[in-house]
Amino acid sequence: MKAARLVLDHLKNNGIQHIFGIPAGSVNAFFDELTQMEDITPIVTKHEGAAGYMAAAYAKYSNHLSVCIACSGPGGTNLVTGAANAMREHLPVLFITGAVPVNTIGLNASQELDAEPIFRPVTKYSMTVKDVNNVRDEIVKATQIALSGVPGPVHIAIPIDVQHQQVPDATLPAPAKRALVEPNAMDVRRVAEELIERKTGYILAGQGIRSAVDSIVELAELLDWPIVTTPQAKGYIPEAHPQLVGVYGFAGHEAASELVASDEHEVALIIGSSLGETATNNYNANITKNRYTIQLDFDASVFNRKYEVDIALLGDISLSIPQLVEEVRALKGTGYAQSYAAAQEVAATTLESREYTTKNVLLSLQQMLPTSTRYTVDIGEFMSYVIHHMSVVDSESYEINVHFGAMGSGIGSAIGSKLANPERPVVCFTGDGCFFMHGMELLTAKEHNLPILFVVMNNARLGMVYHGHNLQFKRTHASFEQEPVNISAMAAAMGLKTVRVDSMDDLTEENVNELLAHQGPTVLEVFLQDNSTPPMGDRVKFLSSFGK
């Protein structure tokens, strides 16, 4: 058996159904073998960077290992951003790159690059396999590392000649499985005792709550404590729940900031957040100031990194929180309140006018789209409006990658998300800047007949940069703006169904429903230059603190 086939068989045994990437000479053995394997579908993208975003979203929403492949040299370097993104998101993605033949290494071969050290800082493991005798052990090791402990990406480079060589032993182990990090029972008990004894506090919930949302809400109800979420965690707790105050951090809500800044709460209970810049409103000291601080996470490296904590509870949130709920219930008794009154004032933003603004477009669209829609949100000024104004009406309704902030990632994420959960409606919010980076991936969606609505906010400028410079420097560079391009015409040339709107009157349910009914990807272009100030002021204040 060829080494390439052994690798693919191992992936098939581990439940891999899709491989994202681009075929090329240095990975031709893999794609040749795929012609004989109906169980694995190659998702051939238009750019390797987009393949990385797709693989990451697929891993997130399938709760499974995913795989991305590219050639040596430029293919590999194009995957690095996707690997860094997966690393920040704690997502198990196997990145496979080709490499030049072993006997040409160091001879300036075509597309030669030593990818192993390049991937090492942005993966949990990176290795070049130069001996066919080691292929089986290395691919098994890499998949196990990707899934073990804190999940994350791994990288394996395999020279093209090694891919074609026969492996001496083709036996494969049982599929790799992730063992959850079990919290210490005594630590859980201690946290429960502190929560009961100190009585008042608030919960700061990060995206790590994803696997335990119901238990988080139950804990908040038991304690009668308010919840604020990070931008990354928007979409997990329904807006209407009385315990939810709003988003804290980038583009967050004033009510959340006021709660954190107040001295009413003795305890800061931080769950599933690494407390990065966007989650903490630029490392705001108020989060833990004069508070007993407890942090729960499955990643020990986040404890005491920026904020000192009194108790660090290590363990998977899906295990820690249900156990904590049981301990709190036992200590507290069966009677408990479920009405954090102050949170009642924070509700979904309503459409107050028909003015043609980014805010009104987004809110109008949400009224027209299914409540189960998952929104994959790209990087741009519209992202701050989504975080600040759009409602959370269903679970896992937003995919927002604000902390790594890769432009174009929302487009690839929409495709990966749809492949992982085909039954769920997916809408991508992207901008003209992001579209010009990865918009050709709409062809990838078309080739696989994926019914995704791509909403392109076209303001003919780099909107976030434009507004950021206006706020910080009171001027902008002329290069931030560009000649308007008819993106719907571009999409139509790709054979996609499109609608272009230039006013609120154009944004009708009839138009939106027509796009939703189409069997395949569609484009809604919103041509709009909104000179309103986006809700991103705290980010600008932080940037403005430099250079003084």
Q: Taking residues 442-449, report their average pLDDT.
A: 98
Assess whether pLDDT exceeds 90 at residue 405: no
Alpha-carbon span 279 to 249, nearest angstrom: 5
Q: Pick the residue with more confidence: 548 or 516?
A: 516
Domain range for residue 228? 185-345
pLDDT in tens, 295-354: 999 999 999 999 999 999 999 999 999 999 999 999 987 544 444 444 444 444 566 678
Q: Do the domain assignments include residue 103?
A: yes
Alpha-carbon span 522 to 390, nearest angstrom: 22
Residues 153 and 13 in one domain: yes
Q: Taking residues 240-248, report their average pLDDT.
A: 94
Cα 259 to Cα 50, 156, 207, 226, 403: the distances in Å are 39, 47, 20, 9, 23
Residues 135 and 217 in one domain: no
Residues 223 and 364 in one domain: no
Residues 233 and 287 in one domain: yes
Q: Do the domain assignments include residue 169?
A: no
pLDDT in tens, 32-47: 999 999 999 999 999 9
Of 321, 345, 369, the residue that ends a domain is 345
Alpha-carbon span 40 to 366, nearest angstrom: 35
Sequential DSSP letters for 81-124? HHHHHHHHHT--EEEEEEE--GGGTTTT-TT---HHHHHGGGSS
Residue 270: the pLDDT is 98
Residues 432 and 372 in one domain: yes
Residue 547: the pLDDT is 57
Q: Taking residues 78-106, report their average pLDDT.
A: 96
Residues 332 and 363 in one domain: no
Question: In terms of Cα–Cα distance, which of 377, 431, 341 is closest to 234?
Answer: 377
Residue 538: the pLDDT is 66
pLDDT in tens, 74-86: 999 999 999 999 9
Q: Pick the residue with more confidence: 61 or 548?
A: 61
Q: Do the domain assignments include residue 36?
A: yes
Name the pLDDT band for 6 (thresholds 50, 70, 90). Answer: very high
Residue 399: how many other CB atoms lie within 10 Å: 25
Residue 342: the pLDDT is 45
Angle ∠(157,160,164) on CA atoms, nearest 5: 115
Whether 331 contacts 193, CB under 8 Å: yes
Average pLDDT, rounded, for the chain: 92
Q: Taking residues 144-166, report their average pLDDT.
A: 97
Q: Do the domain assignments include residue 180?
A: no
Residues 340 and 368 in one domain: no
Tokens encoding 79: 């995957």
Assess whether pLDDT exceeds 90 at residue 355: yes
Tokens encoding 293: 């601080």
Assess whether pLDDT exceeds 50 at residue 113: yes
pLDDT in tens, 186-238: 999 999 999 999 989 999 999 999 999 999 999 999 999 999 999 999 999 99
Name the pLDDT band for 404 (thresholds 50, 70, 90). Answer: confident
